[in-house]
Amino acid sequence: MFVKIALFIALVPGVLLRLPSKDSTLRTQAFVHGLIAAVVLYFMYRATHAVERMTNPSTKSDSDCPPGSHKCPSGDCVLDGDKHSPCH
C-alpha cells in the first residue's frame, strides 16, 4: 500500500520532475508525464510479477494426476469429462 501511495505522489506533475519546461503546452506536459508514469509502472509490474513467480511456484508437476482426472500436454491436471478443459 505504501508503494502505491509513494508512486502516486511521485508521479504527480511537478512534484519530483518538472519536465518539460513551463513554456510548453499542457498537451506536451501531459504526454511527458504519461510516458514517465507508463515506464515506471511497466518496471514496477515486471518486478512485482517476478516476485510473485518466486513466491508462487508453478502448480505443474511430473507426478500423476488424482483419480478422476488426466494430464494435459501442458502438464496441467483436469477432470475427466470436463468439456471446458483447456487441453481438448
Q: What is the pLDDT of residues 12-47, one digit of tens each?
A: 777 777 777 778 888 888 888 888 888 888 888 888
Closest CA to 36 of 2, 12, 71: 12
Name which residue leads in pLDDT, 9 or 1: 9
Q: Provide the pLDDT for residue 6.
A: 81
Confidence label for 48 from pLDDT (cuts 50, 70 and 90): confident
C-alpha dihedral, 47 to 30 to 11 to 52, nearest 10°: -20
Domain regions of the chain by residue span: 2-57, 60-88
Show the cell assigned to 74: 501442458
The verdict on pTM exceeding 0.75 is no
Q: Residues near 9 by Cβ (< 8 Å), separated by ≥ 6? A: 15
